[in-house]
Amino acid sequence: MFLALKEMKRSKVRFLLLMVAVALLVFLILFQQGISSALIRDFTGAIENQTAPVLVYSVDGQRVLQASVMTPELEAEVASVPGIAASGRLGVGTFTVTADGERVDATIIGYEQPELGAPSRLVAGRLPSARYEVVATEEDRSKGFDIGDTVTVEPGGRALTVVGLARQSQLNVVPTLFTAYNTYVDAVAARNPDARTPLPNVLALTPEAGLTPEVLAERINAVDLNLDALTRQQAADKTPGVSQVKQSFAVIFLLYGLVVPLVTGLFFLIVTFQKANSLTLLRAIGAPSSRLVRSLLVQVAIVLVGGLGIGILCDVAISQGQVGSLTLEFNPGAVVFWAVLLFVLGIISSLVAARRVLAIDPIAATTGAGVGR
C-alpha cells in the first residue's frame, strides 16, 4: 500500500485521468444499457407488463400484435385445446388521437377480461370500469394522458377518459391506452364507420392450475401450423426487431467491455515500463516481486473502483430523466453486472503489467537497465 499510494499521490493527474477515462467508459456503457432497456421496454412493455400468461397469434401476423388476425376458425381450434382455464380476445390498433390539443399516434389495446390483457403495473388510478374509460401509460402523463384527461380518437371524435396510469406499458414507443374490448371496437368504428367489426388480433389465455404457460403454448402450436402461441416473455422477446436491437447493443457492449480492460491494461503496462528503474532498484534492495505486484494491483483496484464509482454516479444522475421520448431508469442489476465484469476484466488485463514486474531481474540495477530492456 505504501508504494502504491505514494506513487498515486505524486502522480495525481496521471491516475486521475485514467480514472476519468474509465468513468467515462463505464458511464457510456450504463447509459447505453439504459437506452437499450428503455427502447425495448417502450417497444414491448405492453406485452411484457400485461396480465395474460399466454398469447396466441396467427402465424401470418409474424408476432406483431396489430398484424395478427384471429379468425373464428383459429379461435375455435384454440378453444379445443385442453388445459385452458380462461380465454379472452385482444384487439390492438394504432390510432391518431388528440391529447392536450396535440395530434399524436397512440396504440389502443382492448381486452375482454382484466386477467387477460389488462396492464399489470398500474401505478395510479384504476382499471376501466365503464365504457370509454382507458388506462394510459405513465410516461405520457404530461402529454395529455394524465388521470382525468380526455383523449379523442381522430377522425370520429370518440372521447376516451383516462382513469388510470400504467408503468412501462407502451407498445411501439408511443402512448398506449388499455381499455375494454368493446371500447376498442367503438374506437375502430369511430375512425372508420364503414369498417366491419374487427376480428381480434390475439387471444389471451390462462392455463389451468398445474399447467405451465410453456406447455400450454406447445399444445396450441401442435394443433395448427397457423397458430403461434407464445408465453408472455417469449411474445415480448420475439417481437420483430427486438432481437436485432439487442444484438446491435450487444456488439456495442462487447466493444466497450473490451475497451475498458484494454485501456486499463495498457496504461499500467506503460507505467510499469516508465518506472522500470524504480522497480529494479526496489527488487535489488530486497523487495519481493509479490510485494511489487500487490502494489500494482492495489493501484489498478483503486483506479477501477474510482472510475466505476464516478461512472455509476453519473448514470444515477442521468437515469432520472428522459432521452427524447425514452424514459431512462436506474437498473441496479445492470450496474452490479457491469461493475463486477469490468473490475474483473480490468484486474485480468493488468496481469500483463504484473508479468513484466515479475520478470524484473535485480541485477539490472547494477547496469542501469530496467524491465523490458
Partner 1 sequence: MSTTNVAVDLALRMEAVRKVYRVGDSEIVALDHADLTVAPGEIVALVGPSGSGKTTLCSIAGGILSATSGRVVVGGTDISDFSSKELTAFRQSTVGFVFQSVNLVPFLTARENLLVVDELGRRTGSAARKRADAILGELGIADRANNLPSQLSGGQRQRVAIGRALMNEPRLVLFDEPTSALDTKLGEQVMTVIRNEMKNRGIAAIVVTHDERNTRYCDRTVHIVDGRLEGTSSH
Q: Which of 281, 310, 318, 347 binds partner 1 (CB under 8 A)?
A: 281
* Main-chain dihedrals φ then ψ at residue 159, nearest 5 degrees: -90, 135
The nearer residue to partner 1, 155 or 288, going by C-beta atoms, is 288
Give dist(CA 264, CA 345) in Å, integer.
9
Q: Tell me: does residue 372 bind partner 1 (CB under 8 A).
A: no
List alpha helices for the chain, DSSP H.
2-10, 12-48, 72-79, 181-191, 213-223, 232-237, 242-274, 276-284, 289-318, 332-349, 351-358
Report residue 278 CA to chain centroid gap: 48
Give dist(CA 337, CA 315) in Å, integer.
14
Q: Tell me: does residue 275 bind partner 1 (CB under 8 A).
A: yes
Q: Which of 241, 367, 372, 373 binds partner 1 (CB under 8 A)?
A: 367
Q: Tell me: does residue 61 bind partner 1 (CB under 8 A).
A: no
Which x/- pattern, by CB under 8 A, does the window 303-342 give for partner 1?
----------------------------------------
Give dist(CA 373, CA 364) in Å, integer.
9
Residue 327 grid coordinates: 424514459
| Contact stretch for partner 1 (CB under 8 A) within 147-155, 202-210, 305-313, 357-365 | 357-365
Q: Are 217 and 210 in contact (CB under 8 A)?
A: no
| Contact stretch for partner 1 (CB under 8 A) within 57-65, 97-105, 147-155, 285-293 | 285-293
Q: Are strands 158-166 and 133-137 parallel, antiparallel or unpaired?
A: parallel
Least distance to partner 1 from the beta carbon of 283, Å?
Answer: 8
Q: Which residues pair with 159 in a beta bridge?
A: 152
Sign of CA dihedral 320, 323, 324, 326: negative
Q: Tell me: does residue 356 bind partner 1 (CB under 8 A).
A: no
Which x/- pattern, by CB under 8 A, does the window 222-261 give for partner 1?
----------------------------------------
Which x/- pattern, by CB under 8 A, does the window 3-22 give for partner 1?
x--xx--xx-----------
The nearer residue to partner 1, 9 or 196, going by C-beta atoms, is 9
- Site residues (CB under 8 A) for partner 1? 2-3, 6-7, 10-11, 275, 277-278, 280-289, 291, 362-363, 365-368, 370
